[in-house]
Structure 1
Amino acid sequence: MRGQITLIGAGPGEPELLTVKAVRKLQEADAVFYDRLINQDLLNYCSDECELIDVGKKPKHHKVPQSEIENLIIEKAKEGKRVVRLKSGDPYVFGRGGEEGKRIIEEELIFEVIPGITSAIGGLAYAGIPITHRDFASSFHVITGHLKSEDNQLDWDVLAKTEGTLVFLMGMSELQTITSELMKHEKNKETPVAIVRWATRKDQKTVTGTLETICQIAEEEKMTSPSLIVMGDVVTQRDYLNFYESRPLFGKRIVLPHTCKKNMYHRLIDAGASVFELPKLIKKEMTDIFSLENKERLVFLDADSVSFFVGKLQEMNQDIRQLQHVDFVTIGHHTELAVKKLGILPIETYAVLSDYQLEKDNLEKTLFIGEKSYVNQLEQLNPTIDSYVPFEVTSPVIPENEFSEADYFFLPSSKAAHYFLKDLGKENKDMLKNKKIIVMGAITAKIFETQEIPVIQSENPSFESVLDKIIEEEM
């Protein structure tokens, strides 16, 4: 099978600005070559088997030379692999996509391009600046800010007299030259100018001025690469159209468990936050066995334990139908649903573990089945309970920068709190200084309070209430 290479435009930074086709190609890829400027969250679309190769380019420093990048891509494709070259913005807007594409075609490999939203348009939109406007600009020009090479000299006289919007990409190191040359060639020094750094991301920053003042403003505000420079009357529309930076959670980083993604991810994104999803817990089945002799009551403490329990029954050559004499009790709605899928109706379901009263049971005839942290809670109340822990849980390593960059940690359950604190370690509690922890219930709050870690509890145990609480904290 011939390999194939897809050049994908990753867009300006916001992960959801990626095209649907680009997502599919990332999911199918065997190898992905990516640059420094792409949002690392996009790599989550790749399979576990996909090889991720960082060829990141920094200003004035190329980690891997362009010719070597092309060689590596072609080499992988000739192995019959599906290769993706993931580039920020659009591959054909100062992205060297044309050069790479020509080289790939010369090697007789299958080749395609998936366009991306260029920062020259999408990045400006997120800063509240339309690149065209009926009243202000009927045309636009996108210009590279790399002015050093002899074959890339700009005609400043033409640019200064050009009507419409001027956008300079990769031009921060030449800002002084760009502004002075345009004024030297009689462009109005009062022309509105904006600089947008890290457009569409949580740390987006925009400053405005005029052709005459923007250099001083950029220096005072410490504006650095990667930034867009835009000139023209369209900049004045930012006062009305700045939707992104005016969102209530703009610039805030929120960490939450993957189990909350469906309910919370888009709520937070739409409120302006950026979100880091904690990796899934790794569950490994235990080799322990259990005895059901004389048991009349099975209490399931979590939903995962139900499937592990049934699997262990089968290993022991037993059948769920042999438990007709046994009462099933569940803790939590999801656990109840898991038992019902077996065709069994629990005789009792408790919303949370703290609602369950041990003293009313004949403990000798009761088996508690669940994850270790839940069993531990019961053993603190009565160490003589008979329990079965069907699986062991370990947490993947969480990048240290996600702790340091986070503003909020949302931990919706005692289980999430338990593993969060376990991963953090007592010696690292100081890392939570200046961070805010949001919880939904009193039980979860108490876990932190016992370790003298302050938390914020939502008004009621709903995701909408959590969002309202975070926004309230920021108002």
Structure 2
Amino acid sequence: MKGKVYLVGAGPGDDSLITLKGLKCIKKADVIIYDRLINNNLLKESKKNCKFIYVGKKSKKHIKTQDEINEIIYREALEGKIVVRLKGGDPYVFGRGGEEGEYLAKRNIPFEIVPGVTSAIGGLAYAGIPITHRNYASSFHVITGHLKDENDKLNWEVLASLDGTIVFLMGISNLENISKNLIENGKDKNTPVAIVSWATMPYQKVVEGNLSNIYEKAMKYNIVPPSIIVIGNVVKLRKNLNFFERKILFGETIIVTRAREQKKEFVDKLREFGATTYEFPTIKIDEITPNIELENAIENIEQYTYLLLTSVNGVNIFFKKLFSLGYDSRKLGGLKIGVIGSKTAKAMERYGIKPDFIPKEYVSEFLTKYLKNVLTTKDKVLLPRAKNSRSYLVEELSKICDVDEIKIYNTVKGTDKAEELVDFLKDKKEFYLTFTSPSTFNNFVEILGDNSQNILKRGKILSIGPVTSKVIREGGHEVYGEARKHTIEGIIDLLIKERR
């Protein structure tokens, strides 16, 4: 049985610019065949057993020839698999998607094209340069910059006479030749030019000049591929329209160590402020199943007077079990409910329950302080939480009344590869490491092994609160900053304050 191939455009770099259909294809793919410039975050959206095949191309260095790539796509589809050929930008804009489609069509392999945002438009937009503008350019022309074998095909005289915007993709190695030919064929040497390197990415770099000096400027500022060359008066608009590089965390690199299940909100907020994020989850949430002890506690919930939930994970797992037993939130009607943290409170509210109390400081000590003033010997507390939680809360409350602590999930070590993070950070002069619990830090050290000490010494360490900070300091490392409000928003506030 034949499979199906999706030729998917991944967009200009920022993984959030992929289309909804493109993302759906990635999530259902059995095989992803991807290029060099594909954002790694997109690959992380794939299902657990997805097969990855790298066929990246770099100038003069090809892992696979185009003929070999065509055959790989074909062979994988023949095995009945859903194959995603993931390409930067749009498959049909200098992406050789047409050739791959033809190859499949001749062999009767079903395929679809999923268009992507081309860097010729999206990349320039992130640099503050519209490809057209009513007052500056009513047309545009996109040209491949691989000119060494194509000089005879380009009519430089016609190109030089164009009034619209001219965009060269993959042309940085031929920049001097491009500028020279346009000037020699009548283009004004003072025509504005910009080069956008790594467009849409948080380390985007833009150099501006004109046809006569842009090559020297590109050399001076070490502009490298992937880069877009844009020629025309629309470049003048960058001064007013450059939104991306003005974001407050633009240029900052931040390592996020939260569990994969929890990282999305944190990462999304950091990226909204312009930061580069690297997701390196050092913990994984594993629900303890079966859990007869939790089932019995829920079935006999009337024996308790208080329910304490100390994390979002605890809330979600508790309610999952509650619902699986055929109950709903009304089962908890006779309880006083307390939580630690605003995120935990919001998680409760999603299940239709507003907590009775939440301490001002999001640590066990403050919850204990509150409860000591209200608990009596007649009370009984249900405390479902992580297996490796601190003992402080149970020890203190047990001095007053009965406490049933039930282990409902484990936080185990993450499985991301240490060498990938080491490689990512090798050329970074400055970066931040964020830790949101003692286990995120301890597991970071364990996963990185001998490399951890060097990375922790080079990076600026940010902690979510005093408990985590204590563990970091006990490990022999300096805490660069501790969130005043012990939430991910508190860490973001630290970063923003640093830039102001």
TM-score range normalised by the length of the shorter chain: 0.7 to 0.9
Contact kept, 8 Å, 2:192 with 2:235, in 1: the verdict is yes
The 3 A distance-change label for structure 1 pair 378 and 132 is same
- Tell me the amino acid that sits aligned with residue 232 of structure 2: G
Q: What pairs up with 1:323-362 in 2 under 5 angstroms?
A: 330=308, 332=310, 334=312, 335=314, 339=318, 342=322, 343=331, 349=338, 351=340, 352-355=363-366, 356=368
Contact kept, 8 Å, 1:281 with 1:395, in 2: the verdict is yes
- Distance, in Å, in 2 between the alignment partners of 1:422 and 1:331 is 28
Cα deviation code 1:346-369 (max 9, x no counterpart): 66746333454899999xx99997
Contact kept, 8 Å, 2:293 with 2:406, in 1: the verdict is no
**SS at structure 1 position matched to 2:86:** strand
Q: What pairs up with 1:372-411 in 2 under 5 angstroms?
A: 373-375=388-390, 391=410, 393-402=412-421, 404=425, 405=428, 407-411=431-435
Q: Which runs of 5+ in 1 are unaligned?
A: 285-303
- Distance, in Å, in 2 between the alignment partners of 1:142 and 1:361 is 76
Residue of 271, 274, 283 corresponding to 1:272: 274
Contact kept, 8 Å, 2:56 with 2:62, in 1: the verdict is yes
**SS at structure 2 position matched to 1:16:** helix
Moved more, 80-89 or 392-401: 392-401
> How far apart are residue 474 of structure 1 and its match?
1.8
Contact kept, 8 Å, 1:331 with 1:349, in 2: the verdict is yes
- Distance, in Å, in 2 between the alignment partners of 1:325 and 1:129 is 66
Moved more, 397-406 or 452-461: 397-406
> How far apart are residue 49 of structure 1 and its match?
1.6
Q: TM-score, normalized by length of structure 2?
A: 0.79
- Distance, in Å, in 1 between the alignment partners of 2:151 and 2:157 is 17
**SS at structure 2 position matched to 1:448:** helix
Report the counterpart of residue 325 of structure 2 in structure 1.
none
**SS at structure 2 position matched to 1:95:** coil
> How far apart are residue 25 of structure 1 and its match?
1.0
Report the counterpart of residue 199 of structure 1 in structure 2.
199
- Distance, in Å, in 2 between the alignment partners of 1:309 and 1:117 is 44
- Tell me the amino acid that sits aligned with residue 276 of structure 1: Y
- Distance, in Å, in 2 between the alignment partners of 1:81 and 1:115 is 21
Contact kept, 8 Å, 1:331 with 1:353, in 2: the verdict is no
| 2:450 matches 1:470 | no
Q: What pairs up with 1:21-420 in 2 under 5 angstroms?
A: 21-149=21-149, 153-256=153-256, 257=258, 258-279=260-281, 281-282=283-284, 308=288, 311-313=291-293, 321=299, 330=308, 332=310, 334=312, 335=314, 339=318, 342=322, 343=331, 349=338, 351=340, 352-355=363-366, 356=368, 371=386, 373-375=388-390, 391=410, 393-402=412-421, 404=425, 405=428, 407-420=431-444
Q: TM-score, normalized by length of structure 1?
A: 0.83
- Distance, in Å, in 1 between the alignment partners of 2:337 and 2:3 is 57
Contact kept, 8 Å, 2:120 with 2:167, in 1: the verdict is yes
> How far apart are residue 321 of structure 1 and its match?
4.3
- Distance, in Å, in 1 between the alignment partners of 2:99 and 2:431 is 42
Cα deviation code 1:227-271 (max 9, x no counterpart): 111111111111111111111111222222134434322221111
**SS at structure 1 position matched to 2:69:** helix
> How far apart are residue 328 of structure 1 and its match?
6.6
- Distance, in Å, in 2 between the alignment partners of 1:196 and 1:373 is 49
Contact kept, 8 Å, 2:283 with 2:440, in 1: the verdict is no
Moved more, 250-259 or 1-10: 250-259
Contact kept, 8 Å, 2:7 with 2:97, in 1: the verdict is yes
**SS at structure 2 position matched to 1:167:** strand
- Distance, in Å, in 1 between the alignment partners of 2:89 and 2:447 is 36
Report the counterpart of residue 458 of structure 1 in structure 2.
483
The 3 A distance-change label for structure 1 pair 142 and 336 is closer
> How far apart are residue 324 of structure 1 and its match?
6.6
The 3 A distance-change label for structure 1 pair 65 and 361 is farther
> How far apart are residue 63 of structure 1 and its match?
0.6
The 3 A distance-change label for structure 1 pair 376 and 65 is farther
Report the counterpart of residue 327 of structure 2 in structure 1.
none
> How far apart are residue 278 of structure 1 and its match?
2.9
- Distance, in Å, in 1 between the alignment partners of 2:263 and 2:465 is 19
Contact kept, 8 Å, 1:142 with 1:169, in 2: the verdict is yes
- Tell me the amino acid that sits aligned with residue 416 of structure 2: V
Report the counterpart of residue 472 of structure 2 in structure 1.
448
- Distance, in Å, in 2 between the alignment partners of 1:142 and 1:440 is 48
The 3 A distance-change label for structure 1 pair 324 and 46 is same
Cα deviation code 1:267-320 (max 9, x no counterpart): 211111122233373456xxxxxxxxxxxxxxxxxxx5xxx37625499xx786
Contact kept, 8 Å, 2:140 with 2:164, in 1: the verdict is yes
> How far apart are residue 113 of structure 1 and its match?
0.6
Report the counterpart of residue 291 of structure 1 in structure 2.
none
Moved more, 371-380 or 156-165: 371-380
- Distance, in Å, in 2 between the alignment partners of 1:237 and 1:150 is 32
- Tell me the amino acid that sits aligned with residue 93 of structure 2: V
- Distance, in Å, in 2 between the alignment partners of 1:200 and 1:323 is 53
The 3 A distance-change label for structure 1 pair 396 and 444 is same
- Distance, in Å, in 2 between the alignment partners of 1:361 and 1:433 is 48
- Distance, in Å, in 1 between the alignment partners of 2:441 and 2:454 is 17
> How far apart are residue 393 of structure 1 and its match?
1.9
Contact kept, 8 Å, 1:373 with 1:418, in 2: the verdict is no
Report the number of matched residues: 447
- Distance, in Å, in 2 between the alignment partners of 1:448 and 1:314 is 33
- Distance, in Å, in 1 between the alignment partners of 2:308 and 2:83 is 48
> How far apart are residue 99 of structure 1 and its match?
1.2
> How far apart are residue 454 of structure 1 and its match?
1.7
Contact kept, 8 Å, 1:196 with 1:206, in 2: the verdict is yes
